[in-house]
Structure 1
Amino acid sequence: MNFIKYFIFEIHLRFRNPSQLFFSFAFPIFLMFAFASSFGKTIPHYIENNIANIMMYSVLSASLTSLSVQISEYQSGKIYSLFSQRGIRRSVYITAQILSFMCIIFISTLSIMLIAHFAYSYTIPSVQKLLIFYGKLYLYSIPFYFLAFIIGITSKNTTTASAVAMPVMFVSFFFSGMMIPLSQLTGGIQNIAHHFFLTSLISDLTHTLTSHYTVIPNWFIVQISILSLIIAAAIVSYRNK
Structure 2
Amino acid sequence: MNESVSGLYSEQMDRSFRWGMIWFIFSEVMFFAAFFGALFYARVFSVPWLGGADPATSVHIWDTVVLSWPTAGPGFLDLEFEPMGAWALPTINTLILLTSGVTLTIAHHALKENHRGKLIWGLAATVALGFIFLGLQMYEYVHAYQDLNLRMDTGIYGSTFFMLTGFHGFHVLVGAVTLLVILARCIKGHFTPENHFGFEAAAWYWHFVDVVWLILFVFVYIL
Q: TM-score, normalised by structure 2?
A: 0.32
Larger CA Rg, structure 1 vs 2? 2
Whose helix fraction is larger, Structure 1's or Structure 2's?
A: 1
